[in-house]
Amino acid sequence: MKRKGTQMDGQAAAREEEEVEESPSKKAKVAKKGRGAVSILTDRAFSDLPLSEPTLKALDEMGFKTMTEIQARTIPLLLEGRDVIGAAQTGSGKTLAFLVPAIEMMHFAPCLPRNGTKVIVISPTRELAMQTHHVAMGLFNHHTQTLGLAVGGVPIGKEAQQLVKGVNLLVATPGRLLDHLKKTKNFVYKNLECLIIDEADRMLGLNFKDEMEEILKRLPMKRQTILFSATQSTEVFEFAKLSFKKKAAENEAAQPKPVYIGVDDKKPKATVSGLQQYCCIVESEEKFLALYTFLKKQRSKKTIVFFSTRQAVKFYSELLGYINIECFHMEGTQKQSARNSNLHGFIQAKSGILLCTDVAARGIDIPSVDWVVQYDAPREPEMYIHRVGRTARGEGGEGKALIFLLTQELTFLSYLKEKIVGENYYLSQSAKSAYKSCIEAYNSHQNKSSFSVHKLDLKGVAKSFCFSSPPKVNVSLESRPSKSRNRQDRCRSKHGISCTNPYGNMGVKNRQLAKY
C-alpha cells in the first residue's frame, strides 16, 4: 500500500444531489452533529404559505416547521402553477418541495377517485419510489384523496385493480408506469394536471430515455411539469425541453417558460460542507486487505461500500461473512422482498456494513451513515456524487467518503473535476463567463510590464476553471501592445489570429491572445 488517507479537495467531487425527506428523529440527530456546517434552512415557516389546514397539520406531525432553501424558492412558484426545473444538494428537502404543491392542487380542485390520476411522480428506482410514496402517505394523513404506488417486483394485477378504482396521486417507476399506460384498461389519466420527474439525470443514466419519451407522448400535454435533476448536463437540458413541450394553443407565445432553480449554483463547493473526502492509493493485490482492515477498525460505525458489479457484491459479502464480518448486501437481481429486508435491517442498525451496487446510490435515505467507501471507482463522474451523497445528509449533516484507487488510476481525480464542469450546462456557462472576466480583469492592471495579458498562461488559467484547454470566448483587450508586439502580430497573421479566433491556429504554442 503506497499511501492511505489522502484527503481530497471538496471541489474535486462535483455537483451534488437529491434528497428524500428525513424523519423527525433523524433531524434531531443531525442537529446535534452540525458543527460548523452551513445551514440549509431558511427563516421561513410552512405556516407562512397559503397552505390548507390538513397539509399544515400533517407537516407539523411529521416534524417539519421551517422550510429549506429549495422549498422556500420552489413551493410558491409551484402553487402558482409554474413549470420548474430544480437542482439542489443532497438532503435539501426537494421531496416536500414538489409533493406539498401537488397535494394542495388536489385539495382545492375537485378530486375524487372517479376523476382518476391527477398527479404522477416518476422515480428512477423502486427504492426511491417507495420512499417518496412513504413521505406522501404522511402528507395525505388528513386528506381524502387516494394514493398509489406502481413499481417492478410487485404483482401488476393488484396495481391495475387499484388504478381502475381510482388513484389521485401515483408514484411509479418508468417501466411499470408505461406497462399500465399500455395495458391497464380503464386507467383514467386523461385528467392529469401535474407530472413530476424526479432525478432526471439518473433516469437517463439507467437508459430510461426511450420509456420516458413514450410516456410523455401518451400523457396529456396540457399540464404542469416539475423536473428535478442532481446534475444539469446538456443531455438533461435536452430532455427537459422535451418534457416541457405544451400542446399548441392560440396563446402559446404568451406561456411562461419553465423557471430554473439551482440553490447551489453559486456555492464554492459541489458537495455538502459537512463531507470529508479521502483517497486510498493501493495496489491490486492489497486492495481487499485494505478494505478488511478498514472495516474491522470501523465496526462501531455505519458504512456503505460500493462495488461495480453484483457478482462482486455477492462474493465479498460471502467472503467477509466467513471471516466474521457480517454485512447486509443489495444488488439488482435480488428479489424485492430481500432488498427491502436488507435495506430495512441496515437502516434500523446503529452500526453495520452495507455492500451494494449503484442500485442504492440514488435516493435512498439511510440515517446517520458515517462512511461511504467506493471499492471500485464509478464509471461516470456524476456517480461519484450520487454515491457520496449517502452520507452527510440533511441539515448540518457530517460524514466521510473514501475511494480506493490504483496508482494508474490517480488521473481519475483530475478527470472527475474537469468532466463535471464540462458536461454541466449551467456550470460550464458560468465557468466560461468567469474565465473571460478573469482575463479582462488581468488586462486592466495599470502596471502592464508586470501584468501583461500576452504573457499570461491561458492554459493554466483555464485549468483553474476546470477546463482542459482554454474555451473560445471573445475577450476585449483595451490596452495597446508595444510596437514590437504589433510587428510580431503582423508577422503572425498567417497563423490565423483574428477577432473571431484570438488563439490562432497554433493555439497556446506561440500566441495566446490577439489584439483587435
Best CATH choice for the domain 24-262 from the list 1.50.10.10, 1.20.210.10, 3.10.620.30, 3.40.50.300? 3.40.50.300
pLDDT tens per residue, range 60-70:
999 999 999 89
Tell me whether strands 169-172 and 328-330 are parallel, antiparallel or unpaired: unpaired
Return the residue matching grid coordinates 400523457.
219
CATH number for the segment(s) 3-14+269-419: 3.40.50.300
pLDDT tens per residue, range 244-294:
876 544 455 556 788 888 876 555 444 556 788 888 998 888 889 999 999
Q: Are the beta carbons of 54 and 229 closer than 8 angstroms? A: no
Axis crossing angle, helix 53-62 with helix 94-108, rounded to the nearest 10: 150
Return the residue matching grid coordinates 478498514.
294
Alpha-carbon dihedral sign for residues 479, 480, 481, 486: positive
Burial of 438 (0-12, 13-18, 19+ CB in 10 A): middle
pLDDT for 138 equals 95
SS3 content of the chain, % helix, strand, coil (to 5): 45, 15, 40
Main-chain phi, psi angles of 235, to 5 degrees: -65, -40
Burial of 69 (0-12, 13-18, 19+ CB in 10 A): buried
SS3 (DSSP) at 69 = helix
Kindly report each contact of residues 498-501 with a partner whose C-beta sits within 8 Å and lies 24 or more positions away, as own/partner.
499/474, 500/474
Distance CA 261, CA 331 (A): 33
This prediction's pTM: 0.59
Domains 3-14+269-419 and 24-262 share a fold: yes
Distance CA 247, CA 199 (A): 24
Distance CA 104, CA 151 (A): 25
Return the residue matching grid coordinates 413530476.
196
SS3 (DSSP) at 403 = strand
SS3 (DSSP) at 15 = coil
Report which DSSP code applies to 359: G
Query: In the predicted model, is pLDDT for residue 144 greater than 60?
Result: yes
Distance CA 392, CA 225 (A): 30
pLDDT tens per residue, range 301-311:
999 999 988 88
How many other CB atoms sit within 10 Å of the CB of residue 165?
12
Query: In the predicted model, is pLDDT for residue 478 greater than 70?
Result: no
Band (90; pLDDT cuts 50, 70, 90): low
Which one, of 46, 51, 158, lies nearest residue 107 by Cα?
A: 51
Q: Are the beta carbons of 140 and 58 closer than 8 angstroms? A: yes
* Mean pLDDT taken over the chain: 77
Return the residue matching grid coordinates 400533517.
58
Query: What are the distances in angstroms from CA 46 to CA 23, 35, 90, 283?
Result: 17, 26, 20, 52
Distance CA 271, CA 31 (A): 19
The beta strands (E) that lie in 236-321 are given as 259-262, 275-281, 302-306
Quote the radius of gyration of the chain (alpha carbons, Å). Answer: 26
pLDDT tens per residue, range 314-350:
889 888 988 899 999 988 778 878 888 888 899 889 9
Where are the chain's structural domains? 3-14+269-419, 24-262, 445-495
Band (373; pLDDT cuts 50, 70, 90): very high
Distance CA 188, CA 168 (A): 10
Query: In the predicted model, is pLDDT for residue 58 greater than 90?
Result: yes
Element (DSSP H or E) covering residue 67: strand 66-68
Residue 166: CB partners within 8 Å, gap ≥ 6?
A: 112, 113, 114, 115, 116, 146, 188
pLDDT tens per residue, range 447-470:
777 667 787 778 877 775 667 778
Alpha-carbon dihedral sign for residues 410, 414, 415, 417: positive
Give the cell for residue 30.
443531525
- Rounded to the nearest 10°, the torsion over CA 505, 509, 513, 516 is -40
